[in-house]
Structure 1
Amino acid sequence: MKISLKGSLYTLISLLLTVVILGSFLSQISPGEVLNLIREADLGGVLMFLVLSFTMNIFRTWRYRLLLGLSGYAPPRFSMFMVVLVRNLFSDLLPARVGTLAYVAVVTTRLGVPMQAALNSWAYSFVFDMLAVTPLVILAAFITGGSTMLSVPALIGGSLVLALIVSIAILLLPKFFRIAATLIERMPLLSAGTKSSLGAQLKLTESEVVRTRDQGVFLRLLFLSAMVRIFKYGGLYMFLYALLRPMGFTLSQLEPNRVFLGILAAELAASLPISGIAGFGVYQGAWALVFHLLGFSEHIAKLTSLSHHIFTQAYGYLLGIGAMLVLMLPFLKLQDSSLKQPRRRESAFAFYGLMLGVCLTAALLCRLAYQTFPYTQSFQQFSADQPDAAQLQLRSQISAQLPGTIVFDSNRSGTFGIYTIHPDGSGIETIADGPQHEMYPDPSPDGNFIAYAVALSLQRNSPSEIWIKNLNDGTQRRITEDGTFPTFSRDGSKIFFERGRESVYSFDLLSGKEALLFPLKPKDFKYQIVMPRLSSDQSQVCFTSDRKGRWNVWCADLKTQKSSQIAHGCEPSWLDNGDVLWVSTTAVRERSGIYGYNPAQDRSYEVQDGDAPRGHEYFPTMTPDGKFLLFGACSPDQHSHEDSNYQLFIKAMDSGVVARLTFDAFNNRWPKLLMRAGAR
């Protein structure tokens, strides 16, 4: 009864950990984000993960067969490989790695290996696995140095202590089985027959352990165990790379020493007796904490903790279940796998030569995968249009009335950059265009500065910084390492921006201080907050959100923190009269149109909703005087904001005349009026 109660308590606590930790993570990260990250994983990185994972299992199989061979048993390689996959399944499924004992059950029942030989091979593999990880931790700690918040002396000291303890355990392993046999014989709850049988098995195992120790194979076991660890963590590293490559991360940015420490911490947490159901819960908590300490953003740390673990667990479970089904085939069951005599050690040249050959083969396959499926980020090719006489006349007519130039972002260089263009379509100048993506420009009210975001890639969760450029002297400075979609305040003293698709911040350009504006408490708004714009008096913020479905326009009072939905659509901004400008995607021509919303009257009205050929409008901004609407539009068969042929348009609000500004083959977005000095 006590055992049942204790087991129920463990299960209840594990379930509670899983629910609490995953519930906390999923309140900040949507399941769609997790699945999208997996779906967009780099194919080359995934293939390298598969190669390294397969190689890890080869070395694990090799180690088991080496130990079984010393005991006089040689199960077929294929069958042993299947056993290893089943062992991996239960190791991940059960806490504290007790699932590795599934190996003992399978080799004894399906491959004809006696209990003492199975326990001997399991015990040595278990302790050498722990020993092999210690030099890797020490090496990673030395390379990392003091560049993280983790204590390097503590890591090295802890590893040395663990190595000492495991080394002593290896030497005392025979005595462990002897003591276990004695304890079994003294247990009052077991029958005499059971005590006798178990005691005899443990004594036979003690003899096997001693025999293996006397064979002088410890160095080979250590090398095989090191290969198991190296290829295991190498595979997990490559899958993390596969997840992060679409965000713009490169191999050089994902330092192996840091990633190894983060993955190891999560794995150790999942090995605790109480770690959550199937490792979910504590694993994510440890991963997110350590990766954040290692320098990753909190959002990416949490997102990868879920995506990485879900994929690798599903992969391991599918392989394990498939292997169990294969081993259940009648012809694979062996009555006896014994040798005529215990296998002798092969020559060092043959052993280490074969090990080198396996490593080189894995390296070549990884190189082939990397070169065959390189990650590329290219844009769809379009052809430029030629304006007719009427279009040129409209553009000339409106351009004469605009008191400045147009700043916008465009992919004309192969990546997005910031440019300016005269209203008559001439004089395109580059403001910022580097190897990354400069996007979402916003000019200061006095026209002296432009704020913009710099992202590693166009992937939704890609790391992004915010920079400002002085147009007078050309100097640039970064104002935050984590933010996107910047906009200036009306007086130009602050920049407002979005962080992590979950919060709105302000940055004071004079003091250099950040301030959280909305939501002040994460539980107050548990949905995405995208592309925020503040009202001129800074009392309200409007933004795009997936609350009540994708996508909707929401507004929030920054004082009360209360929010309300305005309409179904996106990309809201404020007009000087207090109305909200936004893109509607319902009951419109060509799938989108630009509308206004009057909060006082709770009334929406059309601002611009054109027809084909370019009636799919987005990126609306009204000039400060309210006289001109700037926007981008493409044909209705396109939509992607990253890979379509959006062109810039200007609409005179008094006459309703719409003029097309650009006629090129690129994607031009987010036009804003950059005031001339004399018009400020």
Structure 2
Amino acid sequence: MRNLVDSYMKKRNQGLIMAAAVTAILLYLTLSHVKPADIVYTLKSTDPLYLVISFFIYICCNVFRAMRFYVLLDKRIKIHSLFNIVCVYNMVNNMAPMRAGEISYVYMLKRLHNKNAAIGVSTLIVARILDFIAICSLFTASSWIAAERIEGLRPAAIMVSLLIIACFLLLIMLLRCRECLLYPLDCYLDKNGLDKDPRIEYIILKLREMIRAMESMRDTKMTVLALIISFFIWIANFSVVFLVVKGMNFDIPLHIVIMGSTSTVLSTLLPVYGIAGLGTSQGLWTLVFVPLGISLNDAIISAFGYYIIQMIFYLTLGVYGLISLKIVKSVQQNSFAFRRCQ
């Protein structure tokens, strides 16, 4: 047992060191092309009205996320309580290293509502699958709009569309075939001696977790409702990005904003992720924006400006969620103590 703990701590420390290194390198590469004073000036000159509207929409986005978990949890937890959990979850997930928010969501469900880890993990995986469908659909639509206006982008739009269709087909096969789909894969890996590879073992483990989580998606009515809510989540999320960028006085079309901000979302899937997304999200944002016609200077400044404002949003609602959860927990404990005294 001690060896397992030591191994985990060693990998965790290695991951933190790697994340810190990636953050430092990418920050140097991006900030070397702009003056930090320009980022500060851009933030100071941001239109407050756009910030107020975007923050209100961000609150709506979290309400939608709470509604989706409400549906996925079979309506057994109140939306208000889930809203507080979502606020804390988003803050921890985006500000703490190593994507710790995934664990925080499972922990809060267990601690506050006595839901076991399997339920927490399965609803989280289903939510991620629905997010993937919504994001890819909006990204595909945006790429085709961009292809109409930017010469030479159509082949890339076609490739993206084909890749997304292939991913959707894989999800459908996983939903319908479940473990039957993994059986021939297990045989192939075992035959070729690949089943002991840690990376392949990790992928197979995640596929099995996904298959188990997708059991709940067999309820068509629930799945359709959760998917509709997922589209509202990401329409609201991309609207926040667009309004913040607009408030910073950058004239970037909505479809390009969607494509650029999608890259920051997908950056969380990278094997090495910067601490709190710092460095990786700005790097990918810039790599997408520049080929789409945005100047390098504007791309970098808008990336850092949005990142800072986004973190303020996360922190504000996250602190609110923590305070609300603490108050609710205190009330529950006092009520339980009162009943015991009677």
TM range (shorter): 0.7 to 0.9
TM-superposed deviation, 1:175: 8.5
Whichever residue aligns with residue 146 of structure 2, its letter is T
- Taking a change above 3 Å as real, the CA distance of residues 66 and 106 of structure 1, as seen in their structure-2 partners, is same
Residue 145 of structure 1 is aligned with which of 144, 147, 162?
147
Whether 1:257 and 2:255 are equivalent positions in the alignment is yes
The runs of 5 or more residues in structure 1 that have no matched partner are 177-201, 336-680
- What residue is the counterpart of 1:62 in the other structure? 67
- Taking a change above 3 Å as real, the CA distance of residues 236 and 175 of structure 1, as seen in their structure-2 partners, is farther
Verify the 8 A CA contact 1:134 1:163 in the aligned structure 2.
no
Q: What is the 5 A alignment of 1:118-267?
A: 118-145=120-147, 147=150, 150=153, 151-171=156-176, 210=215, 213-214=218-219, 216-244=221-249, 249=251, 254-267=252-265
TM-superposed deviation, 1:41: 0.7
- Write the distance in 2 (CA, Å) between the matches of 1:148 and 1:112: 55
Verify the 8 A CA contact 1:112 1:334 in the aligned structure 2.
no
Q: Decide which moves more: 135-144 or 146-155.
A: 146-155
- What residue is the counterpart of 1:322 in the other structure? 320
Whichever residue aligns with residue 114 of structure 2, its letter is G
- Write the distance in 2 (CA, Å) between the matches of 1:50 and 1:175: 46
Per-residue CA distance 1:553-611 (angstroms, 9 max, x = gap):
xxxxxxxxxxxxxxxxxxxxxxxxxxxxxxxxxxxxxxxxxxxxxxxxxxxxxxxxxxx
- What residue is the counterpart of 1:277 in the other structure? 275
- What residue is the counterpart of 2:185 in the other structure? none
- Write the distance in 2 (CA, Å) between the matches of 1:272 and 1:209: 23
Whether 1:311 and 2:309 are equivalent positions in the alignment is yes
SS in 2 for 1:69: coil
- Taking a change above 3 Å as real, the CA distance of residues 76 and 287 of structure 1, as seen in their structure-2 partners, is same
Whichever residue aligns with residue 292 of structure 1, its letter is V
> Aligned-pair RMSD on alpha carbons?
2.9
- Write the distance in 2 (CA, Å) between the matches of 1:171 and 1:222: 18
- Write the distance in 2 (CA, Å) between the matches of 1:172 and 1:320: 39
SS in 1 for 2:249: helix
- Taking a change above 3 Å as real, the CA distance of residues 78 and 281 of structure 1, as seen in their structure-2 partners, is same
Whether 1:35 and 2:40 are equivalent positions in the alignment is yes
TM-superposed deviation, 1:87: 1.4
- Taking a change above 3 Å as real, the CA distance of residues 137 and 224 of structure 1, as seen in their structure-2 partners, is same
Verify the 8 A CA contact 2:55 2:240 in the aligned structure 1.
yes
Whichever residue aligns with residue 67 of structure 1, its letter is L
Whether 1:109 and 2:111 are equivalent positions in the alignment is yes
- Taking a change above 3 Å as real, the CA distance of residues 94 and 271 of structure 1, as seen in their structure-2 partners, is farther
- Write the distance in 1 (CA, Å) between the matches of 2:165 and 2:273: 25
TM-superposed deviation, 1:131: 1.5
Percent identical pairs in the alignment equals 19
- Write the distance in 2 (CA, Å) between the matches of 1:59 and 1:174: 32
Structure of greater relative contact order (alpha carbons < 8 Å, 6+ residues apart) = 2
- Write the distance in 2 (CA, Å) between the matches of 1:264 and 1:46: 20
- Write the distance in 2 (CA, Å) between the matches of 1:66 and 1:22: 40
SS in 2 for 1:244: coil
SS in 2 for 1:117: helix
TM-superposed deviation, 1:28: 3.3
TM-superposed deviation, 1:106: 0.7
- Write the distance in 2 (CA, Å) between the matches of 1:328 and 1:26: 39
Residue 82 of structure 1 is aligned with which of 81, 84, 93?
84
Verify the 8 A CA contact 1:95 1:271 in the aligned structure 2.
no
- Write the distance in 1 (CA, Å) between the matches of 2:245 and 2:262: 13
Per-residue CA distance 1:303-359 (angstroms, 9 max, x = gap):
111111111023212321331232122345589xxxxxxxxxxxxxxxxxxxxxxxx
Per-residue CA distance 1:95-134 (angstroms, 9 max, x = gap):
6756234222112201333444333322221211112222
The runs of 5 or more residues in structure 2 that have no matched partner are 1-5, 182-207, 335-342
Whether 1:25 and 2:30 are equivalent positions in the alignment is yes
SS in 1 for 2:106: helix
- What residue is the counterpart of 2:287 in the other structure? 289
- Write the distance in 1 (CA, Å) between the matches of 2:276 and 2:171: 26
Residue 8 of structure 2 is aligned with which of 3, 12, 32?
3
Q: What is the 5 A alignment of 1:559-570?
A: none
Q: What is the 5 A alignment of 1:479-518?
A: none
- Write the distance in 2 (CA, Å) between the matches of 1:309 and 1:3: 31
Verify the 8 A CA contact 2:42 2:248 in the aligned structure 1.
yes
SS in 2 for 1:107: helix
- Write the distance in 1 (CA, Å) between the matches of 2:138 and 2:256: 12
TM-superposed deviation, 1:136: 1.0
Verify the 8 A CA contact 1:131 1:162 in the aligned structure 2.
no
Whether 1:53 and 2:64 are equivalent positions in the alignment is no
TM-score under structure 2 normalisation? 0.78
Whether 1:14 and 2:19 are equivalent positions in the alignment is yes
- What residue is the counterpart of 1:593 in the other structure? none
- Taking a change above 3 Å as real, the CA distance of residues 31 and 211 of structure 1, as seen in their structure-2 partners, is closer
Verify the 8 A CA contact 2:55 2:313 in the aligned structure 1.
no
- Taking a change above 3 Å as real, the CA distance of residues 282 and 63 of structure 1, as seen in their structure-2 partners, is same
Which one has a bigger Cα radius of gyration?
Answer: 1
- Taking a change above 3 Å as real, the CA distance of residues 96 and 331 of structure 1, as seen in their structure-2 partners, is closer
Aligned length: 298
Q: What is the 5 A alignment of 1:341-380?
A: none
Whichever residue aligns with residue 166 of structure 2, its letter is V
- Taking a change above 3 Å as real, the CA distance of residues 334 and 235 of structure 1, as seen in their structure-2 partners, is farther
- Write the distance in 2 (CA, Å) between the matches of 1:333 and 1:212: 33
- Taking a change above 3 Å as real, the CA distance of residues 211 and 133 of structure 1, as seen in their structure-2 partners, is closer
- Taking a change above 3 Å as real, the CA distance of residues 11 and 82 of structure 1, as seen in their structure-2 partners, is same
Q: What is the 5 A alignment of 1:516-527?
A: none
TM-superposed deviation, 1:33: 1.8
- Write the distance in 2 (CA, Å) between the matches of 1:238 and 1:280: 21
Give the structure with the larger helix fraction: 2
Q: What is the 5 A alignment of 1:628-647?
A: none
TM-score under structure 1 normalisation? 0.41
